[in-house]
Amino acid sequence: MNGVLFMDVVPITAFVVSALTGVVPMSIQIGGATLTAVSLIMNNVYLRHRSLRIAASAAA
């Protein structure tokens, strides 16, 4: 689960590195990076919540 999330963060890392080297990002790029980051975080939270719920129902 975390390996897939790491691969999805690679484009965001490239965006941050290019911004640090002086490339001025456009507003649409910032919006896209924000949307991607929020989607990754929400997907991670959902998958962890679901796995806890499945484990709880299996224990019951």
DSSP string, 3-39: HHHHHHHHHHHHHHHHHHTTPPPPHHHHHHHHHHHHH
pLDDT of residue 30: 84
pLDDT of residue 1: 62
pLDDT of 8 higher than 70: yes
Query: pTM value?
Result: 0.67
pLDDT of residue 2: 63
Please give the average per-residue pLDDT across 9-30, as a whole number. Answer: 85
Domain ranges within the chain, ordered by starting residue? 2-59
Long-range contacts of 21-27 (CB under 8 A, 24+ apart): none
What letters, b where the CB count within 10 A reaches 16 and e where it falls short, cover 21-52?
Answer: eeeeeeeeeeeebeeeeeebeeeeeeeeeeee
pLDDT of 21 higher than 90: yes
